[in-house]
Amino acid sequence: MNLWTSAEIASATGGTASQEFEVSGVAFDSREVGPSDLFVAMQGEVTDGHRFLPQAFAQGAAGAIVSGSCEGPHVRVADSFAALQALGRASRARTEARVIGVTGSVGKTSAKEALYAALERSNHDRVHRSVKSYNNHTGVPLSLARMPQGSVYGVFEMGMNHAGEIAELTRMVRPHVAIVTAIAPAHIEFFDSIEGIADAKAEIFQGLEPGGVAIVPFDSPHRDRLASAARAHAERVVTFGTGKGADVWARDAMRLPTGGTFVTAVMGEGRELSFTVAQPGEHWVSNALAVLAAVDAVGADLGQAGLALAEMGGLPGRGARSLVAVDGGQALVIDESYNANAASMRASLKVLAHEPGRKIAVLGEMRELGAQSEQLHAELADPIAGASVETALLVGEAMEPLARALEGRVNIVHVRDAATALDRLKAVLAPGDAVLVKGSNGVGLSRVVAALEGGV
């Protein structure tokens, strides 16, 4: 399907096309280029994308955006990164889709994927969302540039680790609905306080379209701060939460034998919706309520959204569950290896607590915590013990305060890296075990999961 013509790309970016061509996709990572894609060759901090032009064309690229020499079909611009941003803005300008923006310290990717599933169920092939965690200054314009013009809905994730970053992204996305999932001390190394994080997340409301809706967490201690920031830009502020008082709240939430939750949600104005959240954990109930609030705000089908939540499986690195072979049987692996902060660690440990069998927690250090790192790591001791974890396999130097806090409470194995963690885990893993694998992405615990799934 045609996404952009060379003439449209040139017009959007102010560039010059070498010849006519059409593309059906956009990529800036040469490893992701497929047939008929547009490859955006950008100068990065480590390498220059122009070096990979031959590879991109060999993989089927139909054209490229370049600021240097290129032998294949291309649009030449002064700055490839600025051109990508311009292409994203042009995509947003030409669509009539209802757009939803999502941010938060935890849960934003899960909420984005759940929103996509909820909307896609009744709008097949007409819902677009950012893939992976493409939520920064390059990922957001890329995701926008990939949106087909005929999309009915667009769902975009926005992240940050410094103030001002979301403000720039949201003015590019221009959402009709903006969600903040939760506030937690993620990236607090770059902020003076958690209130500063709340303010940075609240920047998402600055890009709201006229008549826009802001969705904020009722149960958060930062609710009023978020709502106040939202009112300056939103026509309406909607709260979601697990208790009465929120605009969208869970009147009943019953844990099911499957690990999921059966929820009866009050949607305001006397409306109720009963549905199942397939994914285990109280945090997923909160995510689901935010999703339903957004679905309602854009006028989409709530019943179909409820069915989608019941069918949604775990995401790789964010709750995916698999049974892996061990000598004499199988063990359960809960893959939360993509990222970690204090709030998400606690939520994942609560999920582990409900699993049968011996419980093993493979936990990587939490990064970008600054001066609070030692305290936030040590404070995980009670949640670990409370989850009846038998063995805590701690990975990374920053885990030392937690190792000290756990002494005498659980079995502790403290190692420096993921490779050593895998070796130690293999030595103790037995049939019937439940293993949680979670840590900051840079720790590399995804390799532990991949190795287990490939056969211990």
Q: What is the pLDDT of residue 282?
A: 92
Q: What is the pLDDT of residue 371?
A: 92
The answer on 172 and 45 residing in a single domain is no
Which of 37, 55, 79 is the C-terminal boundary of a domain?
Answer: 79
The answer on 335 and 253 residing in a single domain is no
Q: What is the pLDDT of residues 182-210, one digit of tens each?
A: 999 888 889 989 999 999 999 999 999 99
341 domain residue, yes or no: yes
Q: What is the pLDDT of residue 270?
A: 81
Residue 50 DSSP one-character state: G
Here the CATH number for the domain that contains residue 356 is 3.90.190.20
87 domain residue, yes or no: no
Closest CA to 381 of 367, 392, 395, 369: 392
- The stretches in the chain having pLDDT less than 50 are none
Taking the C-alpha atoms of residue 125 and residue 151, their distance in angstroms, rounded to an integer, is 8
Tokens of 90: 């042009």
Q: What is the pLDDT of residue 49?
A: 95
pTM of this prediction exceeds 0.85: yes
Which of 311, 342, 368 is the C-terminal boundary of a domain?
Answer: 311
The answer on 325 and 421 residing in a single domain is yes
90 domain residue, yes or no: no
The answer on 348 and 236 residing in a single domain is no
Number of domains present in the structure of the chain: 3
Q: Say if residue 373 carries a ligand binding annotation.
A: no
Q: What is the pLDDT of residue 35?
A: 97
Q: What is the pLDDT of residue 269?
A: 78
Q: Label residue 417 exposed, middle or buried (CB < 10 Å: 0-12, 13-18, 19+).
A: middle
89 domain residue, yes or no: no
The answer on 222 and 352 residing in a single domain is no
The answer on 145 and 30 residing in a single domain is no
Q: 């609030």: which residue's tokens?
A: 293
Q: Where are the alpha helices (DSSP H) in 373-431?
A: 373-378, 381-386, 400-406, 418-428
Q: Say if residue 75 carries a ligand binding annotation.
A: no
Tell me the residue range of the domain where 361 lies: 320-453
Q: Say if residue 108 carries a ligand binding annotation.
A: yes
CA dihedral 356, 358, 364, 366 (to 10 degrees): 50
The answer on 345 and 306 residing in a single domain is no
Closest CA to 36 of 69, 59, 17, 13: 59
Q: What is the pLDDT of residue 410?
A: 96
Greatest Cα-to-Cα distance within the chain, rounded to the nearest angstrom: 71
Q: Say if residue 388 carries a ligand binding annotation.
A: no
Q: Say if residue 109 carries a ligand binding annotation.
A: yes
Which of 52, 79, 106 is the C-terminal boundary of a domain?
Answer: 79
Taking the C-alpha atoms of residue 455 and residue 324, their distance in angstroms, rounded to an integer, is 7
* Element containing residue 27 per DSSP (H, E): strand 25-27
Q: Say if residue 391 carries a ligand binding annotation.
A: no
Q: What is the pLDDT of residue 456?
A: 61
Here the CATH number for the domain that contains residue 213 is 3.40.1190.10
The answer on 334 and 425 residing in a single domain is yes
Q: Say if residue 348 carries a ligand binding annotation.
A: no
The answer on 112 and 178 residing in a single domain is yes
The answer on 263 and 170 residing in a single domain is yes
Sorted by sequence, the CB contacts under 8 Å of residue 228 that are 6+ apart come out as none
104 domain residue, yes or no: yes
243 domain residue, yes or no: yes
85 domain residue, yes or no: no
Q: What is the pLDDT of residue 317?
A: 92
